[in-house]
A and B are shown apart, each in its own frame.
Chain A
Amino acid sequence: MVSITSVITTSIPEFASAVFFITIFVFGLKWLPGTSTMANGFDPLQLVLPVMVLVIYDFGYVARMTRASMAEVMTTHYIRTAVLKGLPYRRVIMNHALRNALIAPFTVIMLQINWLLSGVIVVEVAFAYKGFGALLLEASLNQDIYVIEACAMVAVFVAVGTQTLADIGYTFLNPRIRFS
């Protein structure tokens, strides 16, 4: 069930899910505003759809990674010991299994930030939000080299920064790893 959902959600590009959500929630149900221009100051309602689009694209992938590594951890001996010791099932899962199972997904989540920067461009254009992605796209459509350079630098800085954070966080989750 989880794997089917995650295949389907990762198969829908951000702009397509943006269109689907606009059709359902704005055109069909008339619940939410279809753009997030923030013309009249900050409005949390305008953030709902853009955030939903980004979440739906990423969550399937992360769920799949967590599922795979959780299944692997659950077969190890220390989990069996913990269960046999008579610990409550909840505690086995939360304290013993999850911590070890999160190591692989953690790296993936940090790598996803890189991908998310791309997703942000699409979502900002789709919902007419004035932000980093829209600026970069506008600059590139107008051949504005200096703005493109500046945006690229910010993007690379964020990407490399999260990679470094991922490596540091990795050593906390898995103390066996040492960087020389």
Chain B
Amino acid sequence: MRALKSFALLRESWVGMAGVFIVAFWIVMAIFAPWIAPFDPLELMQPFAKPGVEWKGGGTFWLGTDSLGRDILSRIIWGSRTVLIYAPLATICAYTVGIMMGLVAGYRLGWWDTILSRISDIVLSFPVLVLYVIVIATIGASGINIVIAITFASAPGIMRIVRGLTLDLRNRDYVAAAQTRGESDWFIMLVEILPNARGPLIVDACLRLGYVVITIGILGFLGLGLPPPDPDWGGMVNESRSLAMAFPHMAVFPCIAISSLILGFNLLADGLREISLRD
């Protein structure tokens, strides 16, 4: 019910709606990939085909094929699955860790706060990508390790936001009422404080989701992403980079796909911010 109401509010901002449409488009692509994609993304057919070339075996390569002869359109459609599984997963993990740390630091204060804040200061003093490269180099490149690296690098930023919000909310009357009732610390943090801090967090989550998509793309581009055979947008750009001068279509279409998805998340965040500023 509440979700329906906020969706109705979102409809008033065309920026937010544009974001919803782009994101929904890619989600549909990801869910129905086996039915939408014209070819198997791993099948080796005709190498170096330009966009629009017809295949002897039937069907057309609408976006051409890569250097191994795999259909680019199918790989993009299947690649949306990879991105839309790992990006939200990494964001959720980062948020779980960040929210826990932030709530404890902001609510308990004292040495909890000191230690958690120092840890986050240390992590935040690294340039993000340098941190990702170091973490991935240490634990190896795989889907789960990407999630771990992103959680490790972005939880401190989330922790700071949550800590700031908690510092503001912990002096409210309803928190004092809960303390007087004798509720446990965790009940107060999770049931009283967290739901009241959700507004800024939802907007930030949307923006961060966009950043995580960028990160997964960049890691793929640097060769630190998912292992090769799986279709992955960043990896597709990486594989075709050396051929980009002669066959730009191999790199351009995955780039358009990833940019549009990030644009969708950013527009969605803008729309949500507009709404949250209004009331």
Contacts and interface: CB of A to CB of B under 8 A. Distances in A.
Interface stretch (B45-53, B167-175, B259-267): B259-267
A151 B266 CA distance: 32
For the complex of A and B, the 8 pairs showing the least CB-CB separation, nearest first, are A118-B129, A140-B137, A16-B255, A11-B263, A117-B127, A23-B248, A15-B221, A11-B262
B226 to A, nearest CB: 15
Given A7-B266, A23-B248, A13 B130 contact: no
B248 A155 contact: no
B64 interface: no
B130 A141 contact: no
Interface size class of A (residues with CB under 8 A): 35 or more
B164 interface: no
Interface string A155-168: 11011100100000
Nearest to B233: A16
A78 interface: no
Nearest to A141: B223
Given A8-B263, A121-B133, A122-B222, A19 B255 contact: yes
B258 interface: yes
Contacts of B223: 141
Interface in B224-243: 224, 234, 237, 241
B128 A16 contact: no
B248 A27 contact: yes
Looking at A34, A119, A152, the one whose CB has the most chain B CB atoms below 10 A away is: A152
A22 B245 contact: yes
Interface string B254-279: 01101100110011001000000000
Contact of B128 (A14, A19, A115): A115
Contact of A155 (B127, B234, B252, B270): B127
A135 to B, nearest CB: 11
Given A122-B222, A156-B125, A19 B262 contact: no
A136 B167 CA distance: 39
A125 interface: yes
Nearest to B207: A10
Contacts of A115: 127-128
Interface in B141-172: none
B136 interface: yes
B217 A118 contact: no
A26 interface: yes
Interface size class of B (residues with CB under 8 A): 35 or more
B222 A7 contact: no
A124 to B, nearest CB: 10
8 contacts: A10-B266, A20-B255, A34-B244, A118-B129, A122-B221, A137-B222, A140-B133, A159-B125
Interface of A: 7-8, 10-16, 19-20, 22-23, 26-27, 34, 114-115, 117-119, 121-122, 125-126, 136-137, 139-141, 143, 148, 151-152, 155-156, 158-160, 163
A16 B267 contact: no
Interface of B: 125-130, 133-134, 136-137, 210, 214, 217-218, 221-224, 234, 237, 241, 244-245, 248, 251-252, 255-256, 258-259, 262-263, 266-267, 270
B217 A15 contact: yes
B234 A15 contact: yes
B15 to A, nearest CB: 8
Contact of A159 (B126, B136, B222, B252): B126
B217 A152 contact: no
A121 B129 contact: yes
B255 A122 contact: no
Contacts of A121: 129-130, 133, 222
A20 B129 CA distance: 22
B51 to A, nearest CB: 13
Contact of B127 (A16, A23, A159): A159
Contacts of A125: 221-222
A97 B224 CA distance: 46
A114 B127 contact: yes
A144 B216 CA distance: 23
A22 B129 CA distance: 23
A113 to B, nearest CB: 9
A40 B81 CA distance: 44
A121 B133 CA distance: 10
